[in-house]
Structure formats: structure tokens, C-alpha cells
Structure 1
């Protein structure tokens, strides 16, 4: 039996949707057969507007490069041109997906190192959800630290769910071993660790808590994905400690995704 014809150009079909909070949801879609990407990259996805023209936004692929489906993680903006409609999708619906992945949050943009720091706010955890499930990440580093800052504990749920299953993952569990460190913080609600991650780095609390030395150019690599304030703050901390910004064409000590903010 032939597969049903696609209604939208560059369209893919929603296979599942999960609403984590009133303002956050994730969804999975079919993967174009021709799509090849590196874990940590993003693509343009969206829906047609009222005129039938594509309304697209950059979304990190949250699934690893080897998975047969693609996963995305999104905020819900009630009056947002795209997310106000995207949050209502259901399995079987179609979305537009432009299969041209790009991005700087890839392992290739970093020099070899001992520790990899993944620092995110909100939906900025999405590219790290991809990288954390990629065997190459664990083969490349002795330690991987995931630092995720959100307003509330509930908003940490998606990232926590990803992290929780890693040690028992049938593909990478043995690679993960005791390499993983998780450091979730909240800024507007009580939790075990409160405050902005940048403050915890600046005053050394995160290093003391994890029993890890402060950043050193010869050992530490940092990936940053979050709101503009976080990006600027962590970049300044990196540069202050002698870490240099890298790119696909010029690997260095840290990288930041500047294509979008949450």
C-alpha cells in the first residue's frame, strides 16, 4: 500500500506529543530519508500562515543523529505567530521541516578536552538532549556536566527525564558510567539548588559541589544555549578564564548557539 501523499511542501508527520507543563511541550516527527545531521544542530520547522506561506522558526533537533524519528522541544507562547498554533498539534498532523541542518553546538567545533560542560536555560536544553544520547559525546570526554537553569522545578522536567535514563540506556549506558554530573537550578521557585548558573560558576559553588576544578583551557570545553543574558554572561566568564570561542571551521574551548534564544 502506498504511503499517503504529503499535503505541505517539505512536510513531515507528527508521531507523538508530550505536554510537560502549561508552557512547555515536546513532539516527535517522521524523519526525511535524506536528512543527515550532527547531534546538536538545528533545522527550520513551522506551519503555513493564513496566506499559505511558510512560517518557520529555528528549532534544535533534540533527538540524536542515529534515531529514526526527530524530536523537538518547544515553549508555548499564547500570542506567538508560530507556537500559538504549534502547541495544538496532534499525532497525524503535518508540519513543515526544511532538511538543512546547521549550528555551532557540535563536537567538531571544540578542541579535544577532559570535561564537557553543557549550560542551558529553558528550551536551550534541546541540543544537549541530542548530544547526551550520542555515543561520541561519552567517548570523547572523561566527564560531562549538564547545568540547566529554569524558573521552576516543573520546567526542569524534560531535561531531568533525559538525564535520568542515560545510565541505563541500552546503547550508551556503559559509556556514561560515572561520567555524568547534573546540576539543575531554579530562579523563581524553591528547589535543592537555587539561583542562576552563572552566579554559581562565578563564586565557585558549582565546582565545589561537584568536586570539579574551575575551568581551565587545557581541560574544559563549554557549550552554551539559552537566553541572551545567559549567553553573554557565560561567554564573559569563559573569556575571563582564558577560554576561546570556537566554530565549525576553527575549533576552540567554548561554543554558543546564537541562532535563537528561548
Structure 2
């Protein structure tokens, strides 16, 4: 794929808030979803689940920035991100055309509430995502600490089409070949993909999978319901999904957590997929 936008080829200049990084790889999952890796500054530190600003120059030369969850584990030498393609989007219309060797802006200060520091200890951790909301959970499930904190980690990813199931093979293999968590993931990690608009072995929205017990099939205790005493929830995805599940879990007695006051479920409110 070639780019007609010369602005992403021109050398970028670092600022107090932004470093300039090189694109290392790009993978197009389908016509509206792609992922990419960039170089990681030696000084860049983040907690699994956090997001950071990514950007390119705008028409006026000023950076156009958008929040992206880091999809790579916190120990990785490269930084990976997952993005939708918006044809007329101020940033993604350009970002989807990047190629290895191009430059992008990277924010110096990652942040976010989708971190384990914002949750109380528990037994089962459910990661509920739609679309590109999968990204922070790709980082979390490859964090060795998460397998010490919880007995079972269940990642649910709801998308419209089968081709939207980014990183499906890696997740279906239970992170086979991962240098740090392969053994733990085989015993403790479960992946539940679901598709809403095409034929697939698991179909329906996340609420349907909760109602019929599907997301509890590979979890401990044989308990097919959520318990605020032992279960912890992380939510990332569309705003509609976030609003629905926020009300759902609060009705069940779950309390939302934050970095300053840990709770039983956490939400990333900075962006929607």
C-alpha cells in the first residue's frame, strides 16, 4: 500500500509532550481494522492497560492526536496499537496509510483507569471488550502479575464480523509461545470470541453470552453468575456497551474502582471504539 500523503514522510520534531517514533510494522486485518508497531523510547514506562496519545501532523502542521491503548505487554521492546480506519477521520484517514519507516508522534505520559491498581483482589477476572476495545486486554493478559492476582482470566471479544477478530489465532492458542506467561495462560486463560452479524461458533452480544452461561463455561467454581465478592470486571469498547454494563454491574452490587479508590469493576472512559 502506498501513501499519497507526503506529510507523514516529512521528518517530525519532538516536543515537551511528544516523542517521534518510527513505524516498524503494519498489519491490515480487513478494510476497516489495522494494527501497527512502533519503536519504544528507553524512558517510556507504562502499566498494562494504560493508553497514550498517538498522532501525525495536521494540515496546519500541528499534531493531530488520539488516545490509543497500548496492546503490547509492558516489558516489550516495541509498542503495538490496534486502530479502526475512518475514511474521513482527522487522524485515522492518514494513520491507516502508514508504512514501516514512517514517523509518528507518541505521547510521553501514558495514563488510564483500566489497570489492576484500580481493582480489589479477586478470584476471577473478566475482560469484556467490543471492537478495538480488545487492545488494552492484549497487554494485560501477557502481564505475568495478572496470573498471580487471579485464578482465572476470561477475555470476551464481541465484533460484527469474523475478520474483526484481531489476534484471534494468538488468543485461541492461549498465548502459545509467549516467553513469560505461556504455562500460566494454558491453565488460567480463556478466550471467548463472539460475532453478531455473521455465522460463527459463538454468536450474539456479550449480554446474550452472560444470559446463556457461555462466558462461564471455562471458569472455575462452576458458577454461572457474577459475584462481587470474588469476580472483577474490566470494560473497554463502544460507549453504548460501557453504559449498559456500568448499569448492569452496579445493579449487581459491583462498585467502580479508580487508581485512588480500588473497586470491583473498572472502565476506560477516555475513548470509544
Q: Structure 2: where are the runs of 5+ without partners?
A: 1-10
Q: Structure 1: where are the runs of 5+ without partners?
A: 1-5
> How big is the shift at 1:209?
3.5
CA distance in 1, matches of 2:216, 2:142: 27
Match of residue 195 from structure 1: 204
CA distance in 2, matches of 1:172, 1:180: 10
TM (norm. structure 1) is 0.93
- List structure 1 segments (4+ residues) > 3 angstroms apart after TM superposition: 207-212
> How big is the shift at 1:79?
0.9
> How big is the shift at 1:199?
2.7
Superposition RMSD on alpha carbons, in Å?
1.6
CA distance in 2, matches of 1:229, 1:32: 35
CA distance in 2, matches of 1:246, 1:48: 36
Match of residue 13 from structure 2: 8
CA distance in 2, matches of 1:195, 1:27: 29
Partner residue of 1:259 out of 223, 246, 270: 270
Partner residue of 2:85 out of 76, 80, 92: 76
> How big is the shift at 1:164?
2.4
CA distance in 2, matches of 1:60, 1:250: 22
Match of residue 62 from structure 1: 71
Moved more, 189-198 or 218-227: 189-198
Match of residue 3 from structure 1: none
CA distance in 2, matches of 1:206, 1:106: 25
> How big is the shift at 1:168?
3.6
CA distance in 1, matches of 2:245, 2:199: 23
- Determine helix, strand or coil for the equivalent of 1:100: coil
Q: Would the aligned equivalents of 1:198 and 1:230 in 2 still touch at CA under 8 Å?
A: no
CA distance in 2, matches of 1:208, 1:7: 48
Distance change >3 Å, CA 79–CA 104, structure 1 → 2: same
Partner residue of 1:130 out of 136, 139, 145: 139
> How big is the shift at 1:76?
0.5
Q: Does 1:205 align with 2:210?
A: no
Q: Would the aligned equivalents of 2:129 and 2:237 in 1 still touch at CA under 8 Å?
A: yes
